[in-house]
Amino acid sequence: MTDTDTRTGDAVSGVEIVLDRVTKRYPDQAAPAVDEVSMTIPAGQIVVLVGPSGCGKTTTMRMINRLIEPSSGTVTIGGRDAATIDADELRRGIGYSIQQAGLFPHLTVARNIATVPGLLGWDRKRIAARTDEMLSLVGLDPGTYRDRYPRQLSGGQQQRVGVARALAADPPVLLMDEPFGAVDPITRALLQDELLRLQGELGKTIVFVTHDFGEAVKLGDRIAVLGDRSRILQYDTPAAILAAPADDTVAGFVGATPAIDRLGLAVLGDLDLDRGVTATPGTTPAELATALGAADRPWAVVLDDRHRPTRRVTAGELAHADSLTGLGTPIGVTLPADATLQDALAVLLTDRTASAVVLDTAGAYAGIVTVDTLIAHLAPTETAPA
């Protein structure tokens, strides 16, 4: 979506960022931490900087908002040389979100989010309205969360507040430094989905730092793979990097097995999902037992009248039952059809479950995914020679 005119609300579309031979030499360090990095970050895109720990990702990112001053080189933001902009003014125009959210522990959620609007001198009414709007935007109910303190939130909720705070003053540029590094894989996948949804609405220019190539593939419109001193080893779309890594270092980073990368590029909805055996509450236990037997399946999914999965019922549980109502066990972990296969595998492995139910965008039953389905997708062509 590049047509900014079709976006609604007061959202500002992002601006281009250009790094031109940007270098950082820390005092008393023989080699520069970042050495002559040049790159153009297109307006309205998510560019992910990915590379091993210590390669200079944070230093590079912080030179964009001048939390770190470059030793040499130029950063241009929306056509303006960042060095000529007052540093405080510059930072108020750039959202910044970091690992563990970086919230002020002694301020409520609302006051954390209001930090930059407050500095910008917005009046209280506008700040209060904006705070609630931001909470809703990141999926937190304002009434429940605005007066809480950060310690009263889960890690994932803190990250959401961190993103809300970064977005509060509607900056055209967002810098995110391993923002989801401290949360569990399931929450991370949710936050990534949320960020992509937000970006679909907002169209910011987002620079996102991670050391996780899978995260880079999922989030990036473009990925810059960085080596020592932030040297750019490859800067391209995820698909182009996966298809043709520039060198062995990039290939190593992309993953030992090229096939594994398909997991990050395909979503569950692309698969021919197993529909299993389903029933509705009106189905009799005997009918369902017959269906399970005919399909040679150990369990069935019971759907409600809107086709949403409610419970799993095993053949054994059917034996002495009069009706399906309340029978069986809750459906367990579900996955949206737009989850990548990589996320799905992570969820199945983390949850130690062999299968999960997949839901379509309306929340209706779409089928079942198993670890085996995903592993089959990993190496579909690797068949043993006769």
Binding residues for ligand ADP (CB under 6 A): 26, 29, 33, 51, 53-59
Shortest Cβ distance from residue 253 to ligand ADP (Å)? 13
Give 96's DSSP letter: E
Tokens representing 383? 């068949």
Classify 84 as helix, strand or coil: helix
Q: Which residue has the tokens 């793979």?
A: 225
Residue 120 burial (CB count, 10 A): 14
Element spanning 109, H or E? helix 109-113
Nearer to ligand ADP by Cβ, of 108 and 210: the residue is 210
**Contacted entry of ligand ADP, Mg ion, none for residue 356, CB cut-off 5 to 8 Å set by kind:** none
336: nearest Cα among 311, 367, 307, 312: 367
Shortest Cβ distance from residue 34 to Mg ion (Å)? 12
End-to-end Cα separation, the chain, in angstroms: 48
Nearer to ligand ADP by Cβ, of 109 and 216: the residue is 216
Q: Tell me whether strands 94-98 and 17-24 are parallel, antiparallel or unpaired.
A: unpaired
**Contacted entry of Mg ion, ligand ADP, none for residue 53, CB cut-off 5 to 8 Å set by kind:** ligand ADP
Shortest Cβ distance from residue 207 to Mg ion (Å)? 13
Nearer to ligand ADP by Cβ, of 29 and 84: the residue is 29
Sheet holding 17-24, edge to edge: 34-41, 17-24, 72-77, 80-81
**Contacted entry of Mg ion, ligand ADP, none for residue 59, CB cut-off 5 to 8 Å set by kind:** ligand ADP
Backbone angles phi, psi at 343, to 5 degrees: -60, -40
**Contacted entry of Mg ion, ligand ADP, none for residue 26, CB cut-off 5 to 8 Å set by kind:** ligand ADP
Nearer to ligand ADP by Cβ, of 34 and 374: the residue is 34
Rule CB under 5 A: which residues touch Mg ion?
58
Shortest Cβ distance from residue 56 to ligand ADP (Å)? 4
CB 50 within 8 A of CB 224: yes
Shortest Cβ distance from residue 156 to Mg ion (Å)? 21
Nearer to ligand ADP by Cβ, of 51 and 142: the residue is 51
